[in-house]
Structure 1
Amino acid sequence: MLSSFNDYIVAFNQEAYLPSLTGIGRGIEREALRVLPEGKLSDKPHAYDIGSALTHPNITTDYSETLLEFITPVSFTPETAIAQLQDIQKFTLKQIDGELLWPLSMPCFVNDADKIPLAQYGTSNIGRMKNTYRQGLKNRYGSMMQVIAGIHFNFSFPKDFWKNLQAFEQNSDNLDEFISERYFALIRNYKRFCWLIPYLYGSSPVICSSFLQNKPQQLPFKRSDSGYLYLEHATSLRMSDLGYTNSAQSELHICYNSLDGYVAGVQEAIGLSSDEFAEIGVKVNGEYRQLNSNILQIENELYAPIRPKRVAKSGEKPSEALKSRGVEYIEVRALDINPFVDTGISLEQVYFLDIFLTYCALLPSPELDAAAQKVYEGNMDEVVVRGRDPELILHDGGREKSLPQWGNEIFEGLSQVAALLDKANNSDKYRKSVTDELAKINDASLTPSARLVDLVVNQGESLTKFALTSAGNYRKLQLDNGYQFYDEGTFVASVAKSHQEQAEIEASDELSYDDFLKEYFAK
């Protein structure tokens, strides 16, 4: 029976087992603000010619009408995933009348956050529910937090990978239960090491001062000569208390030791009332201010750097899908928009994420109690605001380590995984990815966050000018390039189909909106 990381590396290196490492599934969700050429948010509604935001499979909106979200289907090579994303962006750019896609996670200049328009999804009950949910987010956290953009990376191993792993361990459990158990083991290791993601890829150390909307905050910002706020050693302000966090959720202690424990924790949180949110009111003078006054309106409100996922059936809640059919894939949510590439995530990043997540799957993963989980979350909190500080100390199972020290230890294992994946895929791209990322561990000036601080602080460049120049260049690049995976006709047909599907949903509603919500939450 095999049980150690090195055992698994040796076992998968055998010719009979290498093919099970070639069927990794990947999907990318990229968010991007629509902005005008002068650097302000677009005031136009979601373009009809890119389809219904409610039903289009590849092009939708997130919080705001101006915050686009591009979704690739599952693909089985990194190159395909990036090509699909480029095609989706190309089609979108052709339809949005000269608007640009903002290439940063933190938003452009916003004069008045109250004027950020909520996303609209039509008159159906489910469309109205999506809008009410966003109204609740606005009333709970403010609009500025909701127009921060990020990358979500969806990842799954082929079934043969899990069958081989189960055979190595001589495990006789039900395969679906084994897969769920091992995905949660992967998630626990991800939580131990996830500070690596903002360190290597964090690209939001600088913000436009309008983001604060004159509200007090605790971070010790400095101001560049060009007028931008920054933290000298920050990596990802998007992942800090300024961005995607929720103080009300900090005491939830969602458990990642088992599927049952996780689902129970999430479902409990959905029903947990909040005195703070109750003060907002739910339905006031006939208008909904939020879906309910609980800590989570719905499960999507749970902010986490990684989530276990299962494609849900129509009307099925995410936790119900997980409970009934197990974990299908994981969603990595700690990635900033990469401003140095047109897609917001580079091909090289996809290669590294393959390595990192496979490492997390093969490494032994003891259960995490609440105290240990808080320690690892503390590492993440430190790295996002001062990850490039040479004095930074991280905590690993009771041991204090510098970031370069711990990083080099982790990269010893990542190098073995990279060699394994290269052997399986007959390539050298994984080893090159590890070499490039290890260089950042040993030289913080190579990180994208350091490059942006240098640009704005040392070179005196305008962050807005950099973003708009990049956005304009990316727009031209994508419009000039031909389609790689899709074609124009496919997108045109999908737009028409999405509008037809929205109309059918609206026509099929039989309940009033009030009764629809009652029935939804009664389940």
Structure 2
Amino acid sequence: MAALAEHPEALKGMGRGVEREALRITSEGTLSSEAHPKALGSALTHKWITTDFAESLLEFITPVSYSVSETLMQLDDIHRFTYRELEGESLWPLSMPCYVAKEDDITLAQYGSSNVGRMKTLYRQGLKHRYGSVMQVISGVHFNFSFPQSFWQQLFGDQTPYARQESVSDAYFGVIRNYYRFGWMIPYLFGASPALCGSFIKNTDTALDFKKVGEGTYYLPYATSLRLSDLGYTNSAQSVLKIGFDGLEKYLEGVRDAIRTPSAAFAKIGVKDASGYRQLNANVLQIENELYAPIRPKRVAKSGEKPSDALERGGVEYIEVRSLDVNPFSPTGIDETQVYFLDLFVTWCALSDSSLMTDCELECWHDNWDKVVMEGRKPGLTLQIGCDGEQLTQAEWGRRVFDDLAKLAVVMDQANGGDKYQAVCKELVTWFDQPEKTLSARLLNDILAQESIGKVGLAIAAENAERFAGGNYTEFSDAQFREEAIASLKRQQEVEQGDSVSLDQYLAEYFGDSVSI
């Protein structure tokens, strides 16, 4: 960090993008049964507005930006346009789903008649059979982040293009390893799913000691992020996988092995029956996107290119932070404080020592994350620092990390002007001694006061709908959104008209020899 302190300009120009998921709901707080609104364009080809698992699960995607305020204003604009086209519906403002009467109420996302569109829906069909639909409509926020070339130049100096590609990929994997070691702070600070609707667990055999409030709200007193727990967006079948984070080659080998590894449990589902496909294949992962991870190495893929092939071709281009719950206290699901902290934290992960990770240490971080998501606000909670048995309370460990973050914040403020990073640092460090400031504590307090997660969610949704009904666009315009909606529908039509092979042949060519379908 000393070199960057002398050249703070190398920390200017970080790339960011946000992906936010949200369920469309009725005025009664139940899941919308309506198809993806036509006014929002094609979910297959729209640049900013798509769907995730279900027709009712919207996903908003901001373009890459190099300004925190611009990123957040872009996200705000996408919300504003969408709300104005929902016709009586609103967006559920929490990560854990609203009331869902039965799984069949959840309609799989539809992407048209093209092979690629049908494959996307079939992949979701497989997820439904594997894990159930209700788990798949949990919402989250993903934060995409890249360092500027000036950062790498300052770290590595002049290099050949290939050497720079390798150095950058290695550095991003160093970030990933440190994220696993220290990233438990993110669910502690920003986890916002300490409670859930009883409909989520009515068909689940759980040994968790849930407390109940009101008619059907269940919670754990010290939980921060049930979304990240075994109840939420996890896959126990993946626990057998040995996907390493010691470098790109090892990572790609692990991911590709997972796509080829048969699963006895998933084989019982069957790949095809008389009515058609039930899943894309019977392996542990149908495709790479099924790998559940709190952080991923990424590269923008070319048309038709698999994510792993893109990484192999050009190395790691950016990282995707995937452990953020939807922030119910922000109309867009994420706020400025979180973005500035993530900037700071990811940069610190890049600049800090990041030794290779043993299987023992992987188990250690997994245990730490489990503790924090289930009981992160429990007084005196201890975490294990490494495999030698040393332990610290999460509050003490958090303060130690923030001592380092505070020093880096000074340099980052020098690079960008103002004092945003230092201000965020000074505020968030107090949350370790005052857990009532965390998002999970604040939300649980509101839920207990109302004795209902549904009432809280509906009230916030109504406030957000009123907010977005007014106000002006700042980064986009209404005309831009309408033009993109029309253009996306045209692009989908072109994709459909361009198909020249059957779906079976398309899938065979897509997977090659990697899986048996």
TM-score range, shorter-chain basis?
A: over 0.9
User: How far is the alpha carbon of 1:197 from its aligned partner?
Assistant: 0.5
> 1:201-280 to 2 correspondence within 5 Å?
201-225=190-214, 227-280=216-269
Normalised to the residue count of structure 2, the TM-score between the two structures is: 0.97
Alignment partner of 2:420 out of 423, 429, 433: 429
Does 1:364 pair with 2:353? yes
Q: Secondary structure at the match of 1:86?
A: helix
Using the alignment, how far apart are the partners of 1:491 and 1:173 within structure 2? 39
Q: Is the 8 A contact 1:421 1:430 kept in 2?
A: yes
Alignment partner of 1:347 out of 323, 336, 350: 336
Note the alpha carbon deviations across 1:470-517, whole angstroms, 9 max, x for none.
111112212211001000111111011100000000001011011111
Q: Is the 8 A contact 2:84 2:468 kept in 1?
A: no
Using the alignment, how far apart are the partners of 1:94 and 1:283 within structure 2? 41
2:34 corresponds to which residue? 44
Unaligned runs of 5+ in 2: none
Identity %: 50
1:412 is aligned with what amino acid?
D
Note the alpha carbon deviations across 1:157-210, whole angstroms, 9 max, x for none.
011101111139x99981111000100001100110111010000000010101
Does 1:163 pair with 2:153? yes
1:454 corresponds to which residue? 445
1:413 corresponds to which residue? 404
Q: Is the 8 A contact 1:198 1:236 kept in 2?
A: yes
Does 1:12 pair with 2:12? no
1:100 corresponds to which residue? 90
Does 1:468 pair with 2:458? yes
2:163 corresponds to which residue? 174
Q: Secondary structure at the match of 2:240?
A: coil
> 1:270-419 to 2 correspondence within 5 Å?
270-397=259-386, 398=388, 399-419=390-410
Alignment partner of 2:139 out of 139, 144, 149: 149
Does 1:482 pair with 2:463? no
1:361 is aligned with what amino acid?
A
2:505 corresponds to which residue? 515
Alignment partner of 2:48 out of 55, 58, 66: 58
1:53 is aligned with what amino acid?
A
CA RMSD of aligned residues (A): 1.4
Using the alignment, how far apart are the partners of 2:21 and 2:162 within structure 1? 39
1:5 corresponds to which residue? none
Note the alpha carbon deviations across 1:55-74, whole angstroms, 9 max, x for none.
00100000000000000000
2:172 corresponds to which residue? 183
Using the alignment, how far apart are the partners of 2:203 and 2:244 within structure 1? 37
Alignment partner of 1:196 out of 185, 195, 206: 185
Does 1:77 pair with 2:67? yes
Unaligned runs of 5+ in 1: 1-7
Q: Is the 8 A contact 1:26 1:81 kept in 2?
A: yes
User: How far is the alpha carbon of 1:306 from its aligned partner?
Assistant: 0.1
Normalised to the residue count of structure 1, the TM-score between the two structures is: 0.96
1:198 is aligned with what amino acid?
P
Using the alignment, how far apart are the partners of 1:37 and 1:178 within structure 2? 52
Using the alignment, how far apart are the partners of 1:352 and 1:171 within structure 2? 33
User: How far is the alpha carbon of 1:227 from its aligned partner?
Assistant: 3.4
1:25 is aligned with what amino acid?
G
Using the alignment, how far apart are the partners of 2:469 and 2:450 within structure 1? 31
Q: Secondary structure at the match of 1:375?
A: helix
Q: Secondary structure at the match of 1:365?
A: coil
1:194 is aligned with what amino acid?
G
Q: 1:137 to 1:11 in 2, by over 3 A?
A: same
Q: Is the 8 A contact 1:113 1:213 kept in 2?
A: no
Q: Is the 8 A contact 2:192 2:326 kept in 1?
A: yes
User: How far is the alpha carbon of 1:307 from its aligned partner?
Assistant: 0.0
Does 1:21 pair with 2:21? no
Using the alignment, how far apart are the partners of 2:290 and 2:126 within structure 1? 10
Using the alignment, how far apart are the partners of 1:152 and 1:215 within structure 2? 27
Count of residues in correspondence between the two structures: 511
Q: Secondary structure at the match of 1:250?
A: helix
Note the alpha carbon deviations across 1:19-51, whole angstroms, 9 max, x for none.
221100000000000001110001100011101
